[in-house]
A and B are shown apart, each in its own frame.
Chain A
Amino acid sequence: MTRTAALMSYEDVLGRFEPVLGLEVHVELSTATKMFCGCANRFGAEPNTLVCPTCLGLPGSLPVLNRAAVESVMRIGLALNCLIAPWCRFARKNYFYPDMPKNFQISQYDEPIAFDGSLVVALDDGSEFTVGIERVHMEEDTGKSLHRGSSTGRIHGSDHSLLDYNRAGVPLMEIVTKPVPGAGHRAPEVARCYVTALRDLLRALHVSDVRMDQGSLRCDANVSLTPRGASAFGTRTETKNVNSLRSVERAVRHEMQRQAEVLAGGGTVIQETRHFDEASWTTMAGRRKETSEDYRYFPEPDLVPIAPSQQWIEDLRTTLPELPWQRRARAQADWGLSDAELRDLVNAGALELIAATVDAGAPPSEARSWWVSYLTQQANTRDVELAELPVTPAQLARLIEMVTEGALTTTLARQVVDGVLAGEGEPDEVVAARGLAVVSDDSELQAAVDEALAAQPEVAEKIRGGKTAAAGAVVGAVMKATGGKADAKRVHELVLARCRP
């Protein structure tokens, strides 16, 4: 059993040190084909069926660069306010590993295609934090190994491995931040919100599935601590295997506390790669090498340089969709929201749902109110994302329309939504099937009013005597008798009219 290392309290850490973050995010691009060959870029196929001489690294094969991958990365670079290199090359990163068919990875080394940008990250309270982007570059993914002969299926203790190269050569993009100082106690939150913001951006650009759970977005978190008053950054560690947004936050927090404990005890932080353990929320050291690997980078001779013309860059810039922060600003202006209101709907993941509901004809305030309150409650109860609820913006817009027309009361409308969520069909079908329409027929209501007055003669007398406030009791009785389907306001009018002296 490993001893759990002591950790310094988070407050103490911040009292003595300033954390510095660095985040490296690898993203698999969702192109139709791989980076350097025409094999399909697809997840989940039978092993070694999406391969060709090039991605298997067969002797004699050559790479040819995928235009869509290059343009995706350039668009991402532009969206991140990066400069696009006027001329850049690929390099070979040489090292042996069985999941790499050529025993080198084609990557970019000292000439990334995009560099020197920034991403404005919205934190939980709605405030903004700007993260500098060092570089965005292109490379290729590796194959996948299955480890056999060990009880755990892990590499440790296995006696052989099985390799599938379907993923080999899938386009990867690596986004590296500049060192991020100044986040203070919010460093773990900044890390999580950065990855979230990046994910939302990539989603808006339609360049990747950005599924952390499937590995199409992978984050490595670098953390170092600078003692208060010192100027030079401390030694950093790199934590890998961080497979969810929450893990990013937890890994950074744990690493801050662990390093602080080491430093406070007079020790030194070792520059190393660590692995995040999802179960214990801690990071663990990998085995260290005595000598650092020498990748022997050199320019890839089989690929020619990329030299984007200004025209090409500008053409790509025009294809950029509205970016998430621009979208948020527009929504706030269009819908007249306060900062707090905007934050709430963004946090609820409701922005695009509300927008779609408004597009379907609903007034913004109604749309927002439904998604942020009743439907958010329903999503929480079911433990799903708001967008995963089985109700569409169009259905909600129809519902809101019925309420506005007076065909449904708010109470009834909630019952209709419940029916839609239960799979009972379109709102109109639910209304019909459950008999939820407001009773708007005066003769029907009149009969119910007369019946209620007859049942409470003393109340009727009071009203006739001028005590109109007593009408409430009669209205309540009518509402009860009609199962809530009556329009209470109309019932009130009818009661007063009947009892007019």
Chain B
Amino acid sequence: MTELTRWTAAALAQAIHTREVTAVAVTRAHLDRIAAVDGPVHAFLHVDAGGALAAAARVDAALDDDEAPASPLAGVPLALKDVFTTADMPTTCGSRTLRGWQPPYDATVVGRLREAGVVILGKTNMDEFAMGSSTENSGYGPTHNPWDLDRIPGGSGGGASASLAAFEAPLAIGTDTGGSIRQPSSVTGTVGVKPTYGGVSRYGLVAFSSSLDQGGPCARTVLDAALLHEIIGGHDPLDSTSIDAPVPPVAEAARQGSSGDLHGVRVGVVTQFSGEGYQPGVLRAFEAAVEQLTALGAEVVEVSCPSFDYALPAYYLIAPSECSSNLARFDGMRYGLREGDDGSRSAEEVMARTRDAGFGAEVKRRIMIGTYALSSGYYDAYYGQAQKVRTLIRRDFEAAFERVDVLVSPTTPTTAFRIGERVDDPLAMYLADLCTIPANLAGNAALSVPCGLSEEDGMPVGLQVMSPTQADHRGYRLAAAYEAARDAAAGESLINAVPQLEVATR
């Protein structure tokens, strides 16, 4: 038997539910792995060993009492991005301003995980308030890519993606505002899904950009992601933007896809996402993946979405604008950091000092841009215009989905870059989200599935699959089919190519 930490979530669940192995043993194996490798990886900001073992023990006790498993993933451990509120663990969003903040409530996603018997190991590192593409903007130090510890694990959900690639957890939850699930998945060789906007509740997800944020599942296989998607998805009356409809049949689609047949599926290759700025190895891996899809029976055509060229600037107006408002509440009056309250300073001064001390450079930069874009005299040219671009992008998607079932592209133009390489060049950093942003602006579903390694650096490449709104299952089917063919061709799963990590010694 291979180490439990290398199993898929589906396999772990089956073994736990058939009492082949206990949930406590599975949880302990992952806690041990975290203890061994998280020093150099730094995927976690907080590990709740006691809480995790207690949750696992409850699952075991219920199964021992012959109760049916609470869900298909009952007893399986999970790493939670530290942007969801948890009543029993701190929630920092990677920001110093929330150091040690203990929310008095659980996010809806967290509540659903608990009800499903999923064991929450702890909270993972992230770019501060999810602003970034490398996790270097965390107030608590960067996370390292398990494929190469000198490289970034993507962002903002670098902790989640790294925890999967480092075999610290078989499942993770991320959030995707402009690519923060898909881009980290792409650069760590894992699977990440941004569900349709409104498909997963945002209640308890600390907002970065409310109209774009979406929580979603991360895993090492498409089926695992689908199983997790079905647990966290679905209508929530506490979120006004939550879609009141059943979760699309994503697990069924993943199982159907794994048979490997894609006959009758029309796939569109987005012509805008290639060329200058794209790493040759990324493009070659992507082209090989498209050939594989054709080989599986899919009908592949090129599709032009001209307004996608404006997605990046529109995003870097809308997201900062919303964040400038969402982050106004971090003022040191009711919770979190308070700086400079010496009894003489006014609330206004203390707020300004608190925000200066509590926020990192990227957060401040975006707040300033958003404040500018919304201010009178500039609103129409910036925010208003960006909202129009959003309409055009939606129309492009609608037109494309008239012709094809899904759209594909590389998930991100390059493989994982080196830590520190882009920190002083915000615009270069922003390019990491070039291909992922349109789906956030339009609200439709998209995922990233690993599609090989880039020739230049041996780092993973991601295939992005974009589906229409509420047709999330289409992406799962295609990704599962591709994943099965990829692994069959290689003889093993791509993730097994992750190098052995140094085992930390005390």
A 159-174 to B, binary, CB cutoff 8 A, 1 in contact else 0: 1010100000000000
Contact A96-B328, Cβ < 8 Å, known A60-B107, A296-B371 = yes
B-side interface residues toward A, CB under 8 Å?
A: 84-85, 91, 93, 98, 101, 103-105, 107, 202-207, 209-211, 237-241, 321-322, 324-325, 328-331, 333-335, 343, 347-348, 351, 371, 374-376, 379, 383
Interface: A304 (CB within 8 A) = yes
Contact A296-B240, Cβ < 8 Å, known A56-B334, A62-B202, A94-B325 = no
Partner of A59, one of B93, B210, B238, B343: B93
Contact A60-B206, Cβ < 8 Å, known A296-B374, A298-B321 = yes
Partner of A301, one of B211, B334, B351: B211
Q: Are A303 and B374 in contact (CB under 8 A)?
A: no
Contact A302-B240, Cβ < 8 Å, known A58-B103, A59-B85, A94-B374 = yes
Nearest residue, chain B, Cβ from A293 = B376
Nearest residue, chain A, Cβ from B328 = A103
Q: Are A64 and B238 in contact (CB under 8 A)?
A: yes
Q: Which residues of chain A have C-beta atoms less than 8 A from B206's C-beta?
A: 59-60
Q: Are A94 and B328 in contact (CB under 8 A)?
A: yes
Q: Are B334 and A64 in contact (CB under 8 A)?
A: no
Q: Are A58 and B325 in contact (CB under 8 A)?
A: no
Interface: A86 (CB within 8 A) = no
Nearest residue, chain A, Cβ from B104 = A53
Partner of B329, one of A59, A64, A161, A301: A59
Q: Are B210 and A64 in contact (CB under 8 A)?
A: no
Q: Which residues of chain B have C-beta atoms less than 8 A from A61's C-beta?
A: 203-204
Partner of B104, one of A57, A58, A94, A102: A58
Contact A298-B334, Cβ < 8 Å, known A60-B207, A303-B240 = no
Partner of A298, one of B325, B328, B329: B325
Scoring A98, A102, A163 by chain B CB atoms within 10 A of each residue's CB, the highest score goes to A98
Interface: A63 (CB within 8 A) = yes
Q: Which residues of chain A have C-beta atoms less than 8 A from B209's C-beta?
A: 301
Nearest residue, chain B, Cβ from A295 = B376
Partner of A103, one of B98, B241, B329: B329
Q: Are B84 and A302 in contact (CB under 8 A)?
A: no
Q: Which residues of chain A have C-beta atoms less than 8 A from B205's C-beta?
A: 60
Contact A57-B329, Cβ < 8 Å, known A63-B240, A64-B238, A302-B240 = yes
The 6 A-B pairs at the shortest CB distance, nearest first, are namely A103-B328, A296-B374, A301-B211, A301-B210, A59-B206, A60-B204
Tell me the bound Cα distance from A304 to B351 in angstroms.
Answer: 31
Q: Are B325 and A304 in contact (CB under 8 A)?
A: no
- CB contacts under 8 Å to B, within A47-96, are 53, 56-65, 92, 94, 96
Q: Which residues of chain B have C-beta atoms less than 8 A from A297's C-beta?
A: 374
Q: Are B84 and A60 in contact (CB under 8 A)?
A: yes
Q: Are B351 and A53 in contact (CB under 8 A)?
A: no
Q: Give the distance to chain A from B46, nearest Cβ to Cβ, in Å.
A: 16
Tell me the bound Cα distance from A397 to B205 in angstroms.
Answer: 63
Interface: A101 (CB within 8 A) = yes
* Further 6 A-B residue pairs, CB within 8 A, beyond A59-B329, A60-B203, A96-B348: A60-B107, A96-B331, A101-B329, A103-B328, A294-B376, A302-B207
Interface: A104 (CB within 8 A) = yes
Scoring B321, B328, B335 by chain A CB atoms within 10 A of each residue's CB, the highest score goes to B328
Size bin of chain A's contact surface: 20 to 34
Scoring B84, B325, B379 by chain A CB atoms within 10 A of each residue's CB, the highest score goes to B325
Q: Which residues of chain A have C-beta atoms less than 8 A from B371's C-beta?
A: 296
A 267-295 to B, binary, CB cutoff 8 A, 1 in contact else 0: 00000000000000000000000000010
Q: Which residues of chain A have C-beta atoms less than 8 A from B105's C-beta?
A: 53, 58, 60
Q: Give the distance to chain A from B443, nearest Cβ to Cβ, in Å.
A: 11
Contact A104-B103, Cβ < 8 Å, known A60-B204, A64-B237, A159-B343 = no
Q: Which residues of chain A have C-beta atoms less than 8 A from B241's C-beta?
A: 301-302, 304
Q: Give the distance to chain B from A123, nearest Cβ to Cβ, in Å.
A: 40
Q: Which residues of chain A have C-beta atoms less than 8 A from B324's C-beta?
A: 94, 296
Partner of A104, one of B211, B325, B343, B351: B325
Q: Are A57 and B240 in contact (CB under 8 A)?
A: no
Q: Are B104 and A296 in contact (CB under 8 A)?
A: no
Tell me the bound Cα distance from A94 to B210 in angstroms.
Answer: 15
Q: Which residues of chain B have C-beta atoms less than 8 A from A98's C-beta?
A: 331, 333, 347
Tell me the bound Cα distance from A397 to B207 in angstroms.
Answer: 63
Q: Which residues of chain B have C-beta atoms less than 8 A from A102's C-beta?
A: 328-329
**5 A-B pairs whose Cβ atoms sit less than 8 Å apart in the complex:** A53-B85, A60-B207, A62-B238, A104-B328, A161-B347
Q: Which residues of chain A have C-beta atoms less than 8 A from B240's C-beta?
A: 62-65, 302-304
Q: Give the distance to chain B from A306, nearest Cβ to Cβ, in Å.
A: 11
Q: Are A296 and B375 in contact (CB under 8 A)?
A: yes
Q: Which residues of chain A have C-beta atoms less than 8 A from B238's C-beta?
A: 62, 64
Tell me the bound Cα distance from A484 to B380 in angstroms.
Answer: 85
Nearest residue, chain A, Cβ from B105 = A53
- CB contacts under 8 Å to B, within A80-133, are 92, 94, 96, 98, 101-104
Tell me the bound Cα distance from A477 to B322 in angstroms.
Answer: 91
Tell me the bound Cα distance from A137 to B441 in angstroms.
Answer: 29
Tell me the bound Cα distance from A163 to B85 in angstroms.
Answer: 24
Tell me the bound Cα distance from A159 to B350 in angstroms.
Answer: 13
Q: Are B348 and A59 in contact (CB under 8 A)?
A: no
Q: Which residues of chain A have C-beta atoms less than 8 A from B321's C-beta?
A: 298
Contact A163-B333, Cβ < 8 Å, known A61-B203, A92-B325 = yes
Q: Give the distance to chain B from A156, nearest Cβ to Cβ, in Å.
A: 13
Nearest residue, chain B, Cβ from A99 = B333
Q: Give the distance to chain B from A128, nearest Cβ to Cβ, in Å.
A: 40
Tell me the bound Cα distance from A59 to B240 in angstroms.
Answer: 16
Tell me the bound Cα distance from A435 to B348 in angstroms.
Answer: 73
- CB contacts under 8 Å to B, within A172-231, are none
Contact A58-B207, Cβ < 8 Å, known A296-B371, A298-B325 = no
Contact A58-B335, Cβ < 8 Å, known A64-B237, A301-B322 = yes
Tell me the bound Cα distance from A63 to B205 in angstroms.
Answer: 13
Q: Are A96 and B325 in contact (CB under 8 A)?
A: no
Tell me the bound Cα distance from A49 to B347 in angstroms.
Answer: 24
Q: Which residues of chain B have C-beta atoms less than 8 A from A60's C-beta?
A: 84-85, 91, 103, 105, 107, 203-207
Tell me the bound Cα distance from A96 to B327 in angstroms.
Answer: 11
Q: Are A62 and B98 in contact (CB under 8 A)?
A: no
Q: Give the distance to chain B from A58, nearest Cβ to Cβ, in Å.
A: 7
Q: Which residues of chain B have C-beta atoms less than 8 A from A65's C-beta?
A: 240
Tell me the bound Cα distance from A61 to B207 in angstroms.
Answer: 9
Scoring B104, B207, B240 by chain A CB atoms within 10 A of each residue's CB, the highest score goes to B240
Q: Which residues of chain B have C-beta atoms less than 8 A from A64's C-beta?
A: 237-240
Q: Which residues of chain B have C-beta atoms less than 8 A from A296's C-beta?
A: 324-325, 371, 374-376, 379
Tell me the bound Cα distance from A98 to B103 in angstroms.
Answer: 20
Q: Give the distance to chain B from A155, nearest Cβ to Cβ, in Å.
A: 11
Tell me the bound Cα distance from A304 to B210 in angstroms.
Answer: 12
Tell me the bound Cα distance from A62 to B207 in angstroms.
Answer: 9
Tell me the bound Cα distance from A283 to B283 in angstroms.
Answer: 72
Q: Which residues of chain B have C-beta atoms less than 8 A from A63's C-beta?
A: 240
Tell me the bound Cα distance from A63 to B238 in angstroms.
Answer: 7
Tell me the bound Cα distance from A159 to B342 in angstroms.
Answer: 11
- CB contacts under 8 Å to B, within A317-366, are none
Q: Give the distance to chain A from B314, nearest Cβ to Cβ, in Å.
A: 14
Scoring B84, B207, B329 by chain A CB atoms within 10 A of each residue's CB, the highest score goes to B329
Q: Give the distance to chain A from B86, nearest Cβ to Cβ, in Å.
A: 10
Q: Are A298 and B383 in contact (CB under 8 A)?
A: yes
Q: Which residues of chain A have C-beta atoms less than 8 A from B383's C-beta?
A: 298
Nearest residue, chain B, Cβ from A159 = B343
Tell me the bound Cα distance from A98 to B328 in angstroms.
Answer: 11
Q: Give the distance to chain A from B68, nearest Cβ to Cβ, in Å.
A: 32
Q: Give the distance to chain B from A297, nearest Cβ to Cβ, in Å.
A: 8
Q: Give the distance to chain B from A404, nearest Cβ to Cβ, in Å.
A: 60
Q: Give the distance to chain B from A303, nearest Cβ to Cβ, in Å.
A: 5
Q: Which residues of chain B have C-beta atoms less than 8 A from A59's C-beta?
A: 85, 91, 93, 98, 101, 103, 206-207, 329-330
Q: Give the distance to chain B from A322, nearest Cβ to Cβ, in Å.
A: 35
Tell me the bound Cα distance from A59 to B330 in angstroms.
Answer: 9
Q: Which residues of chain A have C-beta atoms less than 8 A from B85's C-beta?
A: 53, 58-60
